[in-house]
Amino acid sequence: MNGVLVIDKPRGLTSHDVVKLARRLLGERSIGHLGTLDPSATGVLPLVVGSLTRLAQFYVHSEKVYEGTIRFGFATDTYDAEGEPCGPPQSVRVTDEDLRVLAKKFEGVIQQMPPPFSAKKIAGVPAYKLARKKKDVPLKPVAVEVKEIELRTIADGKCSFRVRVGSGTYVRSLAHDMGQTLGCGAHLSTLRRTAAAEFGLEDAHTLEEVSACVQQGTLDTVFVHPRKLLPGIPSVTATDETAGLIRCGRSVNLPEFSQALQVKVYYGQKELIAIARRVAGTLFHPEIVFVS
C-alpha cells in the first residue's frame, strides 16, 4: 500500500493521533505526515503511506495556506483559545485601515518568536513540556516567511484572515504579535489549514470517509493520484526495459530531459517507481526507488 492520503484533520486530535488511527484503519505500519497541525486546528494533513514515506524529504520546506480567526482584546499563554488569559480584556479600537497597515508589517521575511507551548526543542526537550511545568522557556526568534496575509473586517473584537506562509511559521505567533503591535493583545481563536504544498481541501477526506472506503473495498479512491505529486519535478513514463533498470538501481538515458536536475519516473499511469537525478548529460540515476 503506497500512496499519499490527505486527511481533513478534526479538532482535538494531534497529528500523531491521526497517524495512529490511519495505521489501524489501513493495516499499514509505515505511515507519516507532511507537517504538524496543532490539536485545536483542523484541515489538510497529508499522510505518506508505505514506500512513499520516502517522499517526506521533498516536503520539508512546503508552503502552507491557512484561514481562521484572531480575537483581539487579550493574549493567552498558549497564543490560542486553549490557553489562559495573560491579563484582563482590553478595549479594541481597530479600523479596517488599521488592519491593512498591520498586515503589511507582517508580510515578507520576519523574525518570529515561537510560542512557549510548542514542539520546539530546548536542549532536547519540547518547549511545551517546560511551559507546562512553569519553567523558563528560553526560545530564540527565527526567520520565517509570510508570503501573503489578508486581514478581513473586524467585528466584536474578532477578525477573520487568510495567510500563505513558508515552512516553520507559527500562525499562533502571528496572532500574538499582532496583538502586541496594536497594544490590546490578541490570540488565535480558530485555525483551518486549507492547503499544504500541492494538496488542498479538495483532496482531503475525513477519517470516517476513509473507514467507510476500507469497509467497501474502495480505498484506492481516496488516495491522491500519483501524477499530482511534486508538480515542480518533470515526469516520464518508463518502458518495460527502462523500468526494469531503474528498479534495480541502474542509471538510464533520458534524452528529453537534458535540462532537468530531477525526474519523476512512472510505470504506467499510476505507479511512481522512482525519483531520478541527472548525473551527467542526459544520464539519470535513481535517487530513490519506491518498492511496489
Q: Which of 8, 17, 38, 156 is catalytic?
A: 38
Predicted TM-score of the model (pTM)? 0.91
Q: Domains of the chain: which residue ranges?
A: 3-61+198-224, 64-192, 228-289
Cell numbers given for 41: 486546528
pLDDT score for 209: 97
CA distance 96 to 104: 13
Q: How many Cα atoms sit within 13 Å of 225 on the Cβ side?
A: 6
pLDDT score for 176: 96
34-66 pLDDT, tens digit each: 999 989 999 999 999 999 999 999 999 999 999
CATH tag, 228-289: 2.30.130
- Count of other CB atoms within 10 angstroms of residue 136: 9
**One CATH from 3.40.50.2020, 3.30.70.1140, 3.40.30.10, 3.30.2350.10 for 64-192:** 3.30.2350.10
**Mean pLDDT in the chain?**
92
The CATH class of 3-61+198-224 is alpha beta
pLDDT score for 128: 56
Cell numbers given for 94: 481597530
171-185 pLDDT, tens digit each: 999 999 999 999 999
Q: Do domains 3-61+198-224 and 64-192 have the same CATH topology?
A: yes
270 — pLDDT class (breaks 50, 70, 90): very high
Q: Check pLDDT > 80 for residue 127.
A: no
Q: Check pLDDT > 80 for residue 68.
A: yes
User: Do the beta carbons of residue 78 and residue 28 sit within 8 Å?
Assistant: no
Q: Which DSSP state fits 2?
A: -
Helices (H) and strands (E) in the chain, counts: 6, 17
Calculate mean pLDDT across residues 264-286: 95
pLDDT score for 291: 81
Q: Could you tell me the sign of the dihedral formed by the alpha carbons of 92, 94, 99, 104, in that order?
A: negative
pLDDT score for 153: 86
* Strand duo 186-196 + 42-49: pairing: parallel
- By mean pLDDT, which of 126-130, 148-152, 172-176 is the weakest? 126-130
| Catalytic annotation present for 38 | yes
Residue type, position 19, single letter:
V
